[in-house]
Amino acid sequence: MGNLFCCVQVDQSTVAIKETFGKFDEVLQPGCHCLPWCLGRQIAGHLTLRLQQLDVRCETKTKDNVFVNVVASIQYCAIADKANEAFYKLSNTRNQIQAYVFDVIRASVPKLLLDDVFEQKTEIAKAVENELEKAMSAYGYQIVQTLITDIEPDEHVKRAMNEINAAARMRVAANEKAEAEKILQIKRAEGEAEAKYLSGLGIARQRQAIVDGLRDSVLGFSVNVPGTTAKDVMDMVLVTQYFDTMKEIGASSKSSAVFIPHGPGAVRDVAAQIRDGLLQGSAAH
């Protein structure tokens, strides 16, 4: 109906390419236009000015011979002032952009190791954008943004990378566990050494107290009971201690057996040993 009345409508964010007898005439902006078809004027086609996105999936190989799929998202739009160039110079804009993306990615990624590809994806996107900007501006298109949205290695490679990462973390955990056990053993050894040292001090003080007590008892008994010698008092004290010890062993509820020499000779030997210790303690004082 619009062609019948020589009127055409151009929608918003769209331009129309006007031709006269098959030759480009002008670019029609959004709105209503009079187009007398009888004079050879017609609409050759429409061109959208909206922002468009093209996702390109490119398979390539890294420097360490790992095949990866790199997905690049290209956001582009036609330049309004160059609408005629965008309409006439390219027959398939998306294929043209895809070819340039393939070329740049397959020239950049093989120079990098797999780990570097993940780290330098921004630089790869920038290289693709710069190359597309130079190439597509001549055809009336503007590259707004280029993003590397995904880098996907082969499934076996991803599994191997995860295993390497897990092994590294387990090695760190094992080192930390071993270091903790080492610290515990050191602290335990220090505690045992300190306990033995203090136990030795306690035993030494106990023996010193026994010697001092026996000496005081012998001296006091000799003074209060005239005619007794230190040897007599010591023998009597040792016999008393001896029988007290036997009594405690017999009253013990434990089932362990203790074999000790029994007889006057045994008491005499014990007395001689303690007397020698008493004399050595007195000499030390």
**Per-residue pLDDT at 234 exceeds 90:** no
Same domain for 44 and 111, yes or no, is: no
Same domain for 89 and 125, yes or no, is: yes
Q: How confident is the model at residue 1 (pLDDT cuts 50, 70, 90)?
A: very low
For residue 280, the model assigns a pLDDT of 58
For residue 141, the model assigns a pLDDT of 92
Residue 217 neighbours by CB under 8 Å, 6+ apart: 233, 237
Measure the CA–CA gap between 214 and 276, rounded to whole angstroms: 12
For residue 2, the model assigns a pLDDT of 46
What is the count of structural domains for the chain?
2
Tell me the Ramachandran region of residue 100: left when phi exceeds 0, alpha when psi lies from -120 to 50, beta otherwise: alpha
Q: Which domain holds residue 33?
A: 7-48
Same domain for 87 and 16, yes or no, is: no
Q: Please write the tens of the pLDDT for every residue from 106-118.
A: 999 999 988 888 8
Same domain for 37 and 100, yes or no, is: no
Are the CB atoms for 140 and 96 separated by under 8 Å? no
Nearest to 282 by CA among 226, 208, 217, 227: 208
For residue 274, the model assigns a pLDDT of 59
Q: Please write the tens of the pLDDT for every residue from 91-103.
A: 888 999 999 999 9
- Over residues 217-223, the mean pLDDT reads 69
**Per-residue pLDDT at 119 exceeds 70:** yes
Kindly provide the residue ranges of all beta strands, DSSP E only, lying in 134-214, ordered along the sequence: 141-153
In a domain, 158, yes or no: no
In a domain, 215, yes or no: no
**Per-residue pLDDT at 71 exceeds 90:** yes
Residue 16 neighbours by CB under 8 Å, 6+ apart: 8, 10, 27, 28, 33, 43, 45, 46, 47
Same domain for 70 and 132, yes or no, is: yes
Same domain for 61 and 131, yes or no, is: yes
Q: Name the more confident of 179 and 158.
A: 179
Please state the pTM of the whole predicted model. 0.54
Lowest mean pLDDT among 78-82, 96-100, 158-162, 243-247: 243-247
Q: Provide the 8-state DSSP code for 244.
A: H
Same domain for 82 and 111, yes or no, is: yes
Phi–psi pair at 259, nearest 5 degrees: -105, 115
Q: What is the CATH number of the domain that holds 76?
A: 3.30.479.30
Q: Name the more confident of 143 and 246.
A: 143
End residue of a domain, out of 153, 172, 202 = 153
Percentage of residues in the chain with pLDDT exceeding 70? 76
In a domain, 28, yes or no: yes
Are the CB atoms for 61 and 151 separated by under 8 Å? no
Same domain for 56 and 148, yes or no, is: yes
In a domain, 199, yes or no: no
**Per-residue pLDDT at 203 exceeds 50:** yes
